[in-house]
Every structure is written in C-alpha cells, then in structure tokens.
C-alpha cells in the first residue's frame, strides 16, 4: 500500500510543481524555515519523493530564483535604453515585493539556469544600446540593481506594511509613532511627518521612480563630464 501511495504521489509531481510549491511556501513562511520536509508536507508527499525530480535544496533554490526572474519583464527592445531599464526595474521591484525572501539569494546562484542567463543578457543588451563605455555600464547595472534591492528591502520592512499597499500604511504609522513626539525635541521629524507624510496623496513608492531617474541621468552626466575632461586634457 505504501508503495502505491508513493507511486501516486510521484505521478502528480514534476520539477515545475515542486518549484511552484517551494515559492508559495516561502511566500508564506520565509526562506529560512523552508526545508525539504516542510516542502514535502506542503505538497502532500514524502521528502524522498522530491528527490526523484530535484537534486537537493540548492537545486530548488536555483529554480525558485529562476521563477522570480521569469516574473520580471525583460527590457523592451523597442524602447530607448532609459525607458527599457526603467520598465525592467519597476517590474523587478514588484516581483521582489511579492517574494521578499528572494532578496538575499537573487544573485547568489553559482549555476544559473537559462532563464536567469537570458534575463541578464537582455538587461545588458539594453544598457549597451546607450552607447556608454563598458565601465560606466558596469556602474549603472550595479547601482541600479542595488537601488532596487535596497528600496524593496526598505518598503517591505516599513511599519504597518501590508501586501495590498507597497511600503505599508505610513500615514497610520506616522500617527502612532511620530505624531505623539514632542516638536521641541524632534522638530525635523514632526515637521516632516505633519507637513509631508501625513498629507493627502503621499506615497513612499513615489520615490522609486525619482531615485531611478537620478541614477540613469547621473550616469549620462558622468559620461558627458568624462568626455569633456578628456577633451580639455588633450
């Protein structure tokens, strides 16, 4: 009977379903508590059954990272390089917000699958359409991705955060944490909160597009300044 149950469990599984199950479970409990045993329980099977389709937990993590990258829009080849990079960064932010457990491991894979490699190829191709020198492209890739990671980390850990509202309800948090403070002791905090954060229409997420624009415009300005400095030195 046990062999029959095991065979039935195997017949309902494949690698894709295991990866999807691992992602869904990590979304619920986080990455650290995710074990082969808990994943097997989540999939209503036995731990050893999983090894018919995956090598080990590291193999599952690689598949999970690939799953997240598959949710990210690749830069549109029809757009200018700035617009394409912006589009991808916005999509990357949303994917990481849905799966914040991916932040520590998103770039840690030593044997990335084709979906991850294809994604990075598309991103670099968009940057290269800028005509910028490779050292500046390297800076742009590193800084823009670091900005996405850092922004997501900040907005997913803000007080009173929730799944339905990126960055959480800062207005409510401000009323509970900042508003009661004495203005004479914390004049900057209380003024900033009262005159900006608690005003209608405030959205922490608005800073994302502004920050990304600073980065992309700054890379362009650095290129122009470098060229001017080189011409002046000749």
What is the pLDDT at residue 107? 84
At the topology level, CATH places domain 74-168+204-234 in: Tetracycline Repressor; domain 2 (1.10.357)
Q: What sign does the CA torsion over 151, 152, 154, 159 have?
A: positive
Mean pLDDT of the chain: 87
What is the pLDDT at residue 172? 66
> Average pLDDT of 88-101?
96
DSSP secondary-structure letter at 46? -
Q: Report pLDDT digits (tens) over 20-51.
A: 999 999 999 999 999 999 999 999 999 999 99
Residue with more model confidence, 115 or 128: 128
Cβ partners under 8 Å of residue 98, min gap 6: 27, 71
Query: Do the domains 74-168+204-234 and 1-54 match in fold?
Result: no
What is the pLDDT at residue 169? 57
CATH code: domain 1-54 is 1.10.10
Query: In degrees, to the nearest 5, what angle opens at C-alpha 22 toward C-alphas 12 and 56?
Result: 85
pTM of the shown model:
0.83
Q: In the beta sheet, which residues pair with residue 162?
A: 165
Judge contact between 149 and 103, C-beta under 8 A: yes
pLDDT over 70 at 3, yes or no: no
What is the pLDDT at residue 8? 47
> Average pLDDT of 50-71?
94
pLDDT over 60 at 158, yes or no: yes
pLDDT over 80 at 56, yes or no: yes
Tokens 């074990």 appear where? 35
Q: Report pLDDT digits (tens) over 217-226.
A: 999 999 999 8
- Domain residue extents for the chain: 1-54, 74-168+204-234
The three-class DSSP label of residue 176 is helix
What is the pLDDT at residue 85? 97
H helices of the chain, in order, are 2-11, 15-29, 36-42, 47-50, 57-71, 81-98, 114-128, 134-156, 170-177, 187-192, 206-233
């Amino acid at each position: 009977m046990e062999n029959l149950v095991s065979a039935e469990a195997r017949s309902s599984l494949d690698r894709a379903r295991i990866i999807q199950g691992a992602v869904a479970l990590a979304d619920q409990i986080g990455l650290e508590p995710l074990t082969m045993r808990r994943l097997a329980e989540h999939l209503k099977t036995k731990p050893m059954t999983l090894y018919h389709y995956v090598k080990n937990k590291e193999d599952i993590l690689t598949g999970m990272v690939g799953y997240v990258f598959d949710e990210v829009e690749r830069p549109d080849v029809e757009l200018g390089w700035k617009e394409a990079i912006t589009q991808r960064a916005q999509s990357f932010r949303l994917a990481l917000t849905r799966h914040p457990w991916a932040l520590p491991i998103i770039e840690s894979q030593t044997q990335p699958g084709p979906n991850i490699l294809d994604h990075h190829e598309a991103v670099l191709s968009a940057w290269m359409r800028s005509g910028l020198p490779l050292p500046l492209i390297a800076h742009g890739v590193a800084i823009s991705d670091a900005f996405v990671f850092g922004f997501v980390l900040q907005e997913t850990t803000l007080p009173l955060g929730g799944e339905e509202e990126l960055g959480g309800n800062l207005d409510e948090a401000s009323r509970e944490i900042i508003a009661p403070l004495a203005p004479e002791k914390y004049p900057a905090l209380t003024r900033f909160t009262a005159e900006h954060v608690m005003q209608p229409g405030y959205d922490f997420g608005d800073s994302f597009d502004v920050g990304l624009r600073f980065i992309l415009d700054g890379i362009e300005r650095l290129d122009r300044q470098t060229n001017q400095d080189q011409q002046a030195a000749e």
